Amino acid sequence: MVASIPYNPWINCCTPNPRAQLRLFCFPYAGGNAAIFRDWHRELPSTLEVCPVELPGRSSRMREPLPRDMPSLIEALGEGLRPYVDRPYVLFGHSFGALVAFEFARYCRDRYDRQPHCLLVSGRQAPHFPDPSPIHALPEEEFIQELKRLNGTPQEILENSDMMQLLVPILRGDLEIDETYEIKAEPPLEIPIAAFGGDRDPEASKIQLQAWSQHGKNDFSLQMFPGDHFFINTERSLLLQALSQKLRNVGKTE
């Protein structure tokens, strides 16, 4: 049985589940925060404790500096989550969050006694693909047009200048880390990897998602859903059903 998580700035919107056998750490997409995963526990097995990860510079951590680069973010994550990987756990990330989850899985392999049981990645091409069309440095008007194209920012936020003034620096910062990322040569992970994608996602094709198989020695699976880059929102119930099937028996033997 997994003990409930005490307060930690890295974990937000966590609904304690003392009966859980497995922790599911969830990493948000660029510009996102832990609230994306607030209600996921309602549609996932009672054997899970959903632990949404709150990155610095947003939401409850708005006063903290934004992450500067991937290495420093992963080091900070490693220290922040160290007390909570003492029990079985898995990692899920969407888009930018998938890349963070991947690098954190590598960190866990090298620095913790306990690796995640599996890595779940969604809506991002495999990490060895360079970004073909970076947008983080675009002028403001072009940048906002790209946000509209991706269809992940609600119209009411796009039309609210005060909210956009807060959101745009967070988005640019996350996207800069994502779009300038260069993978370091390391051995493949020795845990299962499962990838998920939208069949109309211009950011991550089926071929690019399938290439995640190169980064693990264990089982790999790919599942596609109807939708664009933000199928994680529009097809949430289908995605959570798939995650439930993947995770129902994970960690029960420990």
The Cα 100–Cα 70 span in angstroms is: 8
Q: What are phi and psi of 181, to 5 degrees?
A: -65, 135
Active site residue 95: yes
CA dihedral 145, 149, 153, 155 (to 10 degrees): 70
Burial class from Cβ neighbours inside 10 Å (0-12, 13-18, 19+) for residue 19 reads: exposed
The Cα 204–Cα 199 span in angstroms is: 9
State the DSSP code for 202: S
Q: Which two tokens stand for residue 198?
A: 């939208």
Segment holding 22, helix H or strand E: strand 22-27
Q: Of the residues 4, 46, 59, 95, which is catalytic?
A: 95
Residues labelled as active-site residues: 95
